[in-house]
Chain A
């Protein structure tokens, strides 16, 4: 195994050398860095051209210039010598600083979208596989193909128009007309009916239930003017928490495991107490504080599960920890919602919260909660665009792999043993269906950093993609090389990770040392 990894790493380095040479030459060929100066009318035009020629060393042929860049880049390999020199852009900013800033922005943008796409896509894929050739299957298949076929810049313009401008207009005067309630109710009823199993009676009940609940919800929200001052409140948190507890236990342990159910419900109670106790501390929250609280919650959950015991302690611990985390999430969301009115009325935001461009409101200052909301409103639309575009591949892959697994003999064996459908699906099928996805996920994480070029361009998001495209438009080699180094190294590393992970997960596949 070690020889295999070492060999792969050595080839990776060689590939990186070869590819970086090609990239440098391509960049040099892709345009003329003096073009804008040649067209300018400035009186000192000749001097400007002279200066840039010297700055970019244009009198040296490009293949030789590459080695100058390589000599600078090689210094990055020397540990603890802070002389990493990736050159600087035409404007004179060091590439290393530009890269760090751009990477930070891109990571905040793509991480949420990727994680959500994986969770939602895989769940949709599994559900549609279990209901193959049902209305739900056809509906989800069509929608995922549709989103897959949408050019992302087109989708982005639509999102800006209806998600930002339209929604902001609505927020200025949040009143829901009766016709909208009717339409939403029917739509929600149809979705519920799709999820219900096949008999028409059940579908009808689901439709009525979905429609009535949605209509009532919208009516109440409208009545209490929820959109102006949103919030969950203890009662909603309690009810949702109990729902979450039942759902989690149903999925992880089965409702027949009373100990797991009780541990989860205890976590809901603890969460509700924490809602009051922790509230004063949360006023001075930072991101690390939230992380520490989350870890604490998991520990408390595991402790509760352990104390409750039962024939399978692990299951109780897992269910309680997950329930606890979700309760914490509810409390944090509630806190954000309470901050919402003060964010919207902030003089910098001026009542139009959902932003169409940029990563943050310039000059906005406030607590953790206000800046958090600011990030949320800026990331909402680009994340949605990325999410919808990448949903399709996950749902299609997990559906195909789940279908293949459900036809396997060992699933029949599991059923024949008399295992419950939950155990068959969650324990025997689901886990094995995830194996091929591990490769896909590793590839996607590798491509994450360089992957959102178009989205960043449309939403004027100063990330890696924008750095790259802007440098390319100016024929500026150093930022391009910096981008390529980061993206290329990540792609190669995660390529290796994908292969190794696969061989760990599936013992039938062996890496050849």
Chain B
């Protein structure tokens, strides 16, 4: 593990930002702080903003409609009760404001499919955030410690990471899923699944953070802090971590979108969320045979997976653009206009 791209930026940034490497609270010059630049760039990104809004709508819809944590929602059915089949279970939604009795139809035994989809989306979002939060926490701690302290700490932590990486994820998930089902009821299942997935999904992030720390710890401001007598903890959290925050945030969002797909895939092959509860992957796998006769059982949950995942990906991409000082606008046309175009 001793390769990394030298990502030092010679010059460049110092000219555009005052106090480029510290989010300086005292803005004595008219320059913008790092946070302001990032925020401004992010809000200029139309795709990311649209995604943020769509995701917020899905989030609110999923959590308020069928209720959450014992609080009842405003939708009249829930994902477990059976209702007499209405019109063969076909969807009744005809427009954005005329939903009818069962907007997404009913499954073959009469459960309201809107309630099931909402519950599944809720579970997916919970798992996604758990994976993001835990993987971020563990990955940053492991990566930061091994990148900053080097030596034995690094060797042990990185070999441990390697072991986690080569153990098939499906196996860990299956084992954990089995023990989870043995010891807790189905209510806590989703939470535990999210926690366990989070505890094994941090490896990629740990490597990235380590790489970032390896370059940053050699920079002058770290030496300065050391000479000034700062403790290791202070250097790690106050001096180095703020400089690596872009990499961390971007990769956490990408991890979250991968996490949603991971959960649906696991549920699909039967090692994720299990029967009494629902997840988007699970209801697709339960109903995939019905594609010819009841296609809506297939379309709606799939649509929600794609929407959630797409939103998170675009938000992550927007954040990447916002955090990356190298993403200057390269203008191919201007470059070409400057000379005679030799190749079409």
**Chain B's nearest CB lies how many Å from the CB of A168?**
14
Q: Are A22 and B163 in contact (CB under 8 A)?
A: yes
Evaluate whether A499 and B265 lie within 8 angstroms (CB atoms) in the complex, with A15-B163, A151-B305, A415-B335 already known.
no
Which residues does chain B contribute within 8 Å of A129, judged by CB atoms?
330
> Would B167 and A152 count as touching, CB distance under 8 A?
no
- Chain B positions within 8 Å of A423 at CB level: 342
Is A250 an interface residue, CB under 8 A from the partner? yes
Chain B residues contacting A48 (CB-CB under 8 Å) are none
Complexed CA–CA distance, A16 and B271 (Å):
25
Taking a contact as CB atoms closer than 8 A, the residue among A130, A420, A491, A509 that contacts B4 in the complex is: A509
* A14 at the binding interface (Cβ < 8 Å): yes
Q: Is the CB of A151 within 8 A of B175?
A: no
Q: Is the CB of B159 within 8 A of A512?
A: no
User: Is there a chain B Cβ closer than 8 Å to A47's Cβ?
Assistant: no
A26 near B171 (CB under 8 angstroms)? yes
- Is A15 a contact of B159 with CB atoms below 8 Å? yes
Q: A30-B171, A131-B332 are in contact. Are A422 and B265 (CB under 8 A)?
A: no
Cβ of B30 within 8 Å of any chain A Cβ, yes or no, is no
Residues of B participating in the A interface, judged by any CB pair closer than 8 Å: 1-6, 159, 162-163, 165-168, 170-172, 174-175, 178-179, 257, 261, 264-265, 268-271, 281, 284-285, 288, 291, 298, 302, 305-306, 309-310, 313-314, 317, 326-333, 335-336, 338-339, 341-343
Tell me if A148 and B313 are in contact (CB < 8 A): yes
| Assembled-state Cα–Cα distance A350/B157 (Å) | 58
Known: A150-B306, A151-B268, A157-B298. A422 touches B343 (CB 8 A): yes
- Give chain B residues whose Cβ lies under 8 Å from the Cβ of A420: 342-343
Are B343 and A468 closer than 8 Å at their CB atoms? Answer: no
Q: Is A31 within 8 A of B178, CB to CB?
A: yes
Q: What are the 5 A-B residue pairs with the smallest beta carbon separation, nearest first?
A: A420-B342, A149-B309, A422-B343, A30-B175, A488-B166
**Which residues does chain A contribute within 8 Å of B339, judged by CB atoms?**
415, 418, 421
Verify B159–A11 contact, CB threshold 8 A: yes
Partner of B329 from A30, A133, A154 at Cβ < 8 Å: A133
26 contacts between A and B (CB under 8 A): A11-B159, A16-B166, A19-B162, A22-B163, A22-B167, A129-B330, A132-B332, A145-B313, A146-B310, A153-B284, A153-B288, A154-B302, A154-B305, A415-B338, A420-B342, A450-B168, A454-B268, A468-B168, A468-B170, A469-B170, A484-B166, A484-B168, A488-B166, A491-B166, A508-B6, A509-B6
Q: From B166, which residue of chain A is reached at the shortest CB distance?
A: A488
Identity of the chain A residue whose Cβ is nearest the Cβ of B343 in the assembled complex: A422
Contact A457 B168 (CB under 8 A): no
Pair A454/B269 contact, Cβ less than 8 Å:
yes
Q: Which residue of A lies closest to B305 (CB)?
A: A151
Interface string of A485-513 (1 = CB under 8 A from B): 00110011001000100110010111110
In the bound complex, residues from chain A placing their C-beta under 8 Å from that of B313 are 145, 148-149
One of A49-57, A85-93, A223-231, A399-407 contacting the partner: A399-407
Query: With A421-B341, A492-B166 given, is the CB distance from A154 to B284 under 8 Å?
Result: yes
Instruction: State the CA gap A454–B335 with chains docked (Å).
Output: 45
B339 to chain A, nearest CB (A): 6
Q: A472 touches which one: B165, B171, B314, B329 (CB < 8 A)?
A: B171
Contact B330 A403 (CB under 8 A): yes
Residues of B within 8 A of A510 (CB): 2
A27 at the interface (CB under 8 A from B): yes
Q: Does A351 interact with chain B (Cβ within 8 Å)?
A: no
Closest-by-CB residue of A relative to B309 is: A149
Instruction: Assess the A29–B175 pair: CB atoms within 8 A.
Output: yes
Rounded to whole angstroms, the CA-CA distance of A453 and B268 in the bound complex is: 11
**A343-381 vs B, Cβ < 8 Å mask (1 yes, 0 no):** 000000000000000000000000000000000000000
Q: How far is the CA of A434 from the CA of B163 in the complex (A)?
A: 29
* Cα distance, A480 to B257, chains bound together (Å): 28
Given the known A-B contacts A15-B163, A145-B314, are A151 and B265 also in contact in the complex, defined by CB atoms under 8 Å? yes
* Chain A 121-161 interface 0/1 with B at a Cβ cutoff of 8 Å (1 = within): 00000000111110000000100011011111110010001
The verdict on A198 contacting chain B, using a C-beta distance below 8 Å, is yes
Complexed CA–CA distance, A250 and B172 (Å) = 51
In whole angstroms, what is the CA distance A161 to B288 when docked?
11
User: CB-nearest residue of chain B relative to A22?
Assistant: B167
Q: Tell me the nearest residue of chain A to B171, going by C-beta.
A: A26
B41 to chain A, nearest CB (A): 14
Bound complex: CA of A151 vs CA of B281, how far in Å?
A: 9
Q: Does A254 contact B (CB under 8 A)?
A: yes
Query: Which residue of B has the minimal Cβ distance to A153?
Result: B268
**Are A26 and B330 in contact, with the CB atoms below 8 A?**
no
Provide the bound-state CA to CA distance between A187 and B179, in Å: 52
Within the complex, the shortest CB–CB distance from A368 to chain B, in Å, comes to 36
Kindly list chain A residues whose C-beta atoms are within 8 Å of the C-beta of B166: 15-16, 19, 484, 487-488, 491-492
Cα A149 to Cα B55 in complex, Å, equals 14
Give chain B residues whose Cβ lies under 8 Å from the Cβ of A11: 159, 162
CB neighbours (8 Å) of B309 from chain A are 148-149
Contacts of A131 in B (CB 8 A): 332
Residues of A within 8 A of B168 (CB): 23, 450, 468, 483-484, 487
**Known contacts A151-B264, A468-B170; A421/B343 CB under 8 A:** yes
* Nearest CB of chain B from residue A407's CB, rounded to whole Å: 5
Q: Which of A21-44 contact B (CB under 8 A)?
A: 22-23, 26-27, 29-31
A314 in contact (CB, < 8 A): no
**Which residue of B has the minimal Cβ distance to A199?**
B333
- A446 CB to nearest chain B CB (Å): 10
Smallest CB separation, B90 vs chain A (Å): 19
Do residues B170 and A472 form an inter-chain contact, with CB atoms below 8 A? yes
Query: Residues of B contacting A26 with CB < 8 Å?
Result: 167, 171-172, 175
Residues of B within 8 A of A473 (CB): 270
Tell me which of B163, B310, B328 contacts A145 (CB under 8 A): B310
Kindly list 8 other residue pairs between chains A and B, CB separation below 8 angstroms, not including A30-B178, A153-B288: A29-B179, A132-B329, A141-B317, A154-B284, A406-B330, A484-B168, A502-B3, A508-B6
- Of chain B, the residue at the smallest CB distance from A502 is B3
Q: Report chain B residues within 8 Å CB of A280.
A: none
Closest to A150 in B: B306
Q: How far is the CA of A131 from the CA of B261 in the complex (A)?
A: 31
Q: Are B175 and A407 in contact (CB under 8 A)?
A: no
Q: Does A204 belong to the interface (CB within 8 Å)?
A: no
Query: Once bound together, how far apart are the Cα atoms of A152 and B175, in whole Å?
Result: 23
Which of chain A's residues has its CB closest to B264's CB?
A151
* Chain A positions within 8 Å of B270 at CB level: 473
A506 CA to B6 CA in the complex, in Å? 11
Tell me if A309 is interfacial: C-beta within 8 Å of chain B.
Answer: no
Q: Chain A: which residue is nearest B341 at the CB level?
A: A421
A442 to chain B, nearest CB (A): 11
Complex CA distance for A488 and B166, rounded to whole angstroms: 5
Minimum CB–CB distance for A386 against chain B, Å: 14
The complex places the Cα of A16 from the Cα of B178 at a distance, in Å, of: 25
Give the distance to chain B from A402, nearest Cβ to Cβ, in Å: 9
A469's partner among B269, B284, B336 (CB-CB below 8 A) is B269
Q: Point out which of B159, B167, B172 has the most chain A C-beta atoms below 10 A from its C-beta.
A: B167
Residues of chain A contacted by B6 (CB below 8 angstroms): 508-509
B170 in contact with A436 (CB, 8 Å): no
Complex interface: chain B residues within 8 A of A161 (CB): 291
B3 & A499 in contact (Cβ 8 Å cutoff):
yes
> How near does chain B come to A452, taking the closest CB pair, in angstroms?
12
Complex Cα spacing A167 to B313, Å: 32
Any B CB within 8 A of the CB of A61: no
Q: A29 near B4 (CB under 8 angstroms)? A: no
In this assembly, does A177 line the interface, its C-beta being within 8 Å of a C-beta of chain B?
A: no
Q: Which residues of B contact A492 (CB under 8 A)?
A: 162, 166
In the complex, A11→B270 CA distance in Å?
35
Give CA–CA (A421, B305) in the complex, Å: 43
